Amino acid sequence: MAANIIVAGGGIGGLATALALALQGHRIELLEQAPAFTEIGAGVQLGPNATRRLLALGLGKPLAAIAAKPDALTVRSAASNAVLGRMPLGSAVEHRYRAPYYCVHRADLHALLLKAVRARKQVTLSTGARIVDVRRDDNFVCVASADARAWEGDALVGADGLWSLVRHQVIEADAPPRATGHMAWRATVAQQALPVALRCHGVEVWLGPRLHAVAYPVRGGRLLNVVVIAESIPTGDVRDWDQAGSLAALQQATGRSGAGLQALLEAMPAWRTWTLSDRPPLKSADQMASGRIALLGDAAHPMLPYLAQGAGMAIEDAVALAQALGSTDAAGVPQAFARYAAERWQRNARVQSRAQRNGTIFHATGPVRVGRDVAMRMLGKVLLDQPWLYKG
């Protein structure tokens, strides 16, 4: 038995969903608005909670081939470069959580998922399919695209990201995403192009007042990904996404960092910027699924990247959705979606709240900053580990 399922959006969440559902035998129509499947040129950290699911989807070997396996997470002061706390990753994490901690290039992860999806004959992929209309009744869902095509299915999964259109079908009178006033500056560089002292083999984090920076290797360690997230920058259009940036503009906003971080920032060949928006956590399971429509990934729970788990939660959602559906047929979809939402909404809400709290701690000033640094020096390994998250 199987259902015909429309997946809106071909990002990491939509592709993981198509793969997980196809492995259960369902037939999938995946609709992506962009003219071609692409991902932006930046990195993504995958905690063991996410990699465990990707391994279960049969992606262990190709994932290991594209990933970098950082040896440790090291937190430093952005001003002095002094180490505040450290947590071993590598085999220590893999042993403890039965799955590795990986850092990957988003385009590599996206391409890997796309290849796996393309190999499943039950999945049909359509690009240039921007969904503009959704109709449903008790027995089916129908969507139409801007170029006047239409698809009908037993179910619709909204994996259409932060500005989700499908979300309006599940949550009535929903407010738009909120501008956080935080901006991300991202760059990648070949490690070989860097002086040896600036190359990173682990996840390096620098904490400063109202900003933090993260650097980690991707693409088997050959590239270095650097992100600076800073507050109180005029945001312009909150839909600004992947704009050209410059070090001069970054430093106008944040000031110069201490010498260690500054040298790394100056070594980056080019910067891109992202205006960060989020939404408050969902308040109940029925905000995540309604009848034959379910939300997944950023469409349901967009979060600030301060726990590096947005893509991880989308991957967790995908596997949970496929498990809830099992081999159910069309008739069983609403009950299966209700089970999926009941299982997922609270964990996602917790991760969203923790990400926001991390931002406050990472960017602290004054006495809070002093207390944070003391705590990090004394208890760094314990504070940086997240068993509740990585074991889930």
Question: Which residue ranges make up the site for ligand FAD (CB under 6 A)?
Answer: 8-14, 31-34, 44-45, 129-131, 159-162, 165, 184, 227, 274, 276, 297-298, 305, 308-312, 314
CB of 144 to ligand FAD, least distance (A): 11
User: Catalytic site residue 216?
Assistant: yes
Q: Which is nearer to ligand FAD, 2 or 292 (CB)?
A: 292
Instruction: Please identify which residue in the block is written with the tokens 């992929």.
Output: 125
Please classify residue 235 by burial: count the beta carbons closer than 10 Å to its beta carbon, then call 0-12 exposed, 13-18 middle and 19+ buried: middle
Q: Which of 97, 101, 102, 216 is catalytic?
A: 216
CB of 251 to ligand FAD, least distance (A): 18
Q: Which is nearer to ligand FAD, 242 or 329 (CB)?
A: 242
d(CA 80, CA 268): 20
Please classify residue 330 by burial: count the beta carbons closer than 10 Å to its beta carbon, then call 0-12 exposed, 13-18 middle and 19+ buried: middle
Q: Which is nearer to ligand FAD, 309 or 328 (CB)?
A: 309
CB of 147 to ligand FAD, least distance (A): 11
Q: Which is nearer to ligand FAD, 146 or 379 (CB)?
A: 146
Q: Which is nearer to ligand FAD, 2 or 200 (CB)?
A: 200
CB of 30 to ligand FAD, least distance (A): 9
Instruction: Please identify which residue in the block is written with the tokens 């009178």.
Output: 173
d(CA 332, CA 154): 10
Instruction: Please identify which residue in the block is written with the tokens 């385009």.
Output: 107
d(CA 83, CA 204): 10
CB of 104 to ligand FAD, least distance (A): 9
Of 207, 211, 190, the C-alpha closest to 253 is: 211
d(CA 260, CA 266): 10
Helix (H, G, I), strand (E, B) or coil at 270: coil
Active site (catalytic) residues: 216
